[in-house]
Amino acid sequence: MVSLIPQPHPRERRIIFENISRPGWSNDIDTYVAHGGYEQLRKALGMQPSEIVDAVKAANLRGRGGAGFPCGVKWSFIKRDDGKPHYITVNGDESEPGTFKDRYILHNDPHQLIEGVLIAAWALNVNLAYIYIRCEFPHAAKIVWNAIKEAKARGLVGKNICGSGFDCDIYVHQGAAAYICGEETSLIESLEGKRPYPRIKPPYFPAVLGLYMSPTIVNNVETLCHVVHILRLGAEEYAKMGTPGDGGTRTMCVSGDVMRPGYYELPAGAVTLGELIHDICGGLKPGRKLKAVIPGGSSAKVMRAGEVYKIKVKAQDGTMIDKEVAMEDVVMDAASLAAVGTMVGSGGVMVMDDSRDMVWALNNLNQFYAHESCGQCTPCREGSLWMSKMTTRMMAGGGSANDPATLKNVADNIAGRTVCAFGEACSWPTQSFLAKFPEEFAARSANG
C-alpha cells in the first residue's frame, strides 16, 4: 500500500497532512477513528468552551485562507451566552490562484475538518454549521457529505453528540464558483441565496451581523483542521512549532518553475524563500535563473530576484535596528513577508524563472481579476477591466508610451476605494509588477 502523497521532505512536519501521508490511508470514518480520530472532540466536550478559545489564542493560530487574522481573537468576538443563534461557515471556496491545499483535505481527510468544525461549534455555542464548497469541486462536496453522514451515524454529528447533550448539524453548500465568494461577507450573502456582493464593514462584521444577521464565524478549511491539533499537542507545544505570532505549521503550495512543485507542510518560519525553492523544491529548471516570486497567492505583491530589503528587527537590548535582507533570505512567515512589503496570504508560492515575460504574467492576472470582479464598486468593476485591456493591448504590440503611468494611475485609484479587499487584490499585482520590472513595461510601450 502506498500513501496518497509523496513522503515528506526531511524539513517538513506534517500534522494536517499526516493522515494523508499514511500508507493505505482511506477517507472513511473507520480509518480516521483507528488513527485517533474524534478523540479531540471528546476531549473538547469535557472542557469549558472558554478554555478552548483561550487555547486557540495561545497557540497563535492565524487564518490560513489569506487574510491571516488571529483565529482565537476572531472567536473571542462571539459572546457565547448572548441568547442569539450562532453559526460557523467553513470557507472551502479555495479560489486564490496558486493555492491548492484545501481540496486535498476535503478529498482525503474530510473527518479531520468535521472534527475541527465540531470543536469550534462547542466552543462558540453553535448548533448549525455550513461547509461552503465551490461547484468546481463536485467530488469534494460528495465526499464531505458522505463523511457527515458517517459521523452522524456514529453520534458525532446531530443530536446529543457523544452523549454530551450538545447538538450540532453540519450541511454542505455548493457555491457557483465565484472568486469573490472567498471574501467572508460575499460567502454569507451567497449562503443566504443572494447575489454575492460584499457587505460594508462596519457594521456588517460577521461576528456581529453575519449569516441571517446573527453572529457568525467564517474560517478556512485548513484553519479549522489546525484546531484539532492545538488540542492534541497543547497550545504551548503547537505555538512552538512556529514563530511568535504565527504558530503551528503552514502549507506552502509551490507552483511554477521549480523541479518539484507541490505542497509542503512546514513549521511557520522554519525556512527562507531560498531554502524553499532550492532545497525543498529541488531548485530551478536546468540552466534557468530566478526572476520573481509571488509568495502568497496571486494577489500578493511580487518579489524580484536580487532585491535587498531594509527591515526593522529587535536587537538584543530590545531596541529596533535596521537590517538588510536579501530576497532569498526572507523567512516564510507572516511577519517577515509583511516586513518586506508582501504577504504570506494563502501560501500559494508562484516561482518564475528568467524565461518569463512579466508583462505576459501581469496580463494573465489582470484578465483573471477583470473576469472575477463582482461589479458592485465602480473603481474595481471599471478599473480591473481597463487594466486587463491595457496589458492585453501591450501584449498585442499596441502599447503606448503612457501605458505604464496610466496603468499605475488606474491601480492607485482602485486600492482603498472599494467595499471589500478585492480592490487591493486586483491592484497590488499591477502596482508591484510596474515597480519591480519597469524596464519590461517600458519596452512593451516603446514597441507600440
pLDDT tens string 171-228: 999 998 899 999 999 999 999 999 999 999 999 999 999 999 999 999 999 999 999 9
Checking if the pLDDT of 3 tops 80, the result is: no
Mean pLDDT, rounded, of the chain: 94
At residue 424, the pLDDT reads 95
Q: Can you read off the three cell numbers belonging to residue 237?
A: 507545544
pLDDT tens string 19-68: 999 999 999 999 999 999 999 999 999 999 999 999 999 999 999 987 88
| Residue 291 φ then ψ, to 5° | -115, -45
Checking if the pLDDT of 448 tops 70, the result is: no
Instruction: Specify the pairing of strand 249-256 against strand 308-314.
Output: unpaired
At residue 176, the pLDDT reads 87
At residue 219, the pLDDT reads 96
Checking if the pLDDT of 369 tops 60, the result is: yes
pLDDT tens string 212-247: 999 999 999 999 999 999 999 999 999 999 988 899
At residue 106, the pLDDT reads 97
Q: Tell me the pTM.
A: 0.94
Checking if the pLDDT of 5 tops 80, the result is: no
pLDDT band at 318 (very low <50, low <70, confident <90, very high): confident
Checking if the pLDDT of 137 tops 70, the result is: yes
